[in-house]
Amino acid sequence: MALRLTCPNCGSRPHTEFWFGGEVEAHAARADSAAVAPAARPEMNREAVLEADFARVWLRKNSYGIQRERWFHHAGCRRWHTAVRDTLTNEVHDRA
């Protein structure tokens, strides 16, 4: 594997300098985790809340093709960025 990623701070670097952080959808859903908390959604059926949380935590699209995903540049600037990668060819696009 010789995947290279473009870090917005550090430029094009080999993927071994990064940690994979999962699909961007899971990242986005984290912002809403309070939405499934009981205090925030008293009207919502509790079972449905737990079901939605299970899907958020465990279910992934696992795309075949273009995927937006999170990478953490642990050996560089130590910041997150979002990359667009083709999971079939490992081609990385610079912009979303």
Partner 1 sequence: MIAPDNGRPKAPKASRLDFEGRAIPVAPDDTVASALYRAGVRIFSRSFKYHRRRGLYCLTGDCPNCLMTVDGEPAVRTCRTPATEVRTVARGSGWPSAGHDLLSILWRLRAFLPVGFYYKSMIRPRWLWPLAERVIRRVAGLGPIARDLPVVNRERLNHHPELLVVGGGVAGLAAALAAAQRGETVVLADEGVIGEGLAPGPARARVDALRAQLRRHGSITVLERALAIGLYQGPLVPIAGADRLHLVHPARIVVATGAVESHAVFPGSDLPGVFLARGAARLAGVHHLSPGRRIVMVATSDEAMDHLDTLRAQVARDAGASVVAVVAPRALAARVPAGVEVLHDGAVVAAFGRRGVLAGSDGGLRAVVVATGGGRRTIACDALVLGLGLEPRDGLLRQAVCEPVQGAGEVVSPGCTLAEAEASGFAAASPDSTIAVAGAFVWPATERALPPVASKGFVCLCEDVEAGELAQAWDEGYRSTELLKRYTTVTMGACQGALCQAHLRAFVGERSGGASRPTAVVRPTVARPPARPVRLEDLAAGVRVPLEYHTALHSRHLALGATMEWTGAWKRPSHYGDVEGEYRAVRENVSLMDVSTLGKYQIAGADAMRFLERLYPCHIADLAPGRSRYALLLNEAGYLFDDGLVCALGDDGYYITFTSSGADAAESWLREWAESWGYNVHIANLTWSRSAIHVAGPRTRELLAKLTDDPIDAAALPYGGVSAIRVAGIACRAIRVGFVGELSIELHLPTRLAPALWDALFAAGTECGLRPHGLDALKLLRLEKGHFIVGLDTDFDSTPAKVGAAWAVKMEKPDFVGRTALERLAKIPRERSLLPLSFAGPRAPEEGAQLFVAGAHVGHITSSRFSPLLGKGVALGWVRHPEGSPPLAVTARDTRGEVAGIVTRAPFYDPRGERLRA
Our finding on whether 96 is near partner 1 (CB under 8 A) is: no
Size of the residue set binding partner 1 (CB under 8 A): 34
Q: Kindly tell me which residue out of 40, 44, 59, 66 binds partner 1, with binding defined by CB under 8 A.
A: 40
Our finding on whether 27 is near partner 1 (CB under 8 A) is: yes
Our finding on whether 79 is near partner 1 (CB under 8 A) is: yes
Our finding on whether 25 is near partner 1 (CB under 8 A) is: no
Our finding on whether 55 is near partner 1 (CB under 8 A) is: no
Q: How far is the CB of 96 from partner 1 (least distance, A)?
A: 15
Q: Identify which of 63, 65, 58 has the alpha carbon closest to the alpha carbon of residue 88.
A: 65
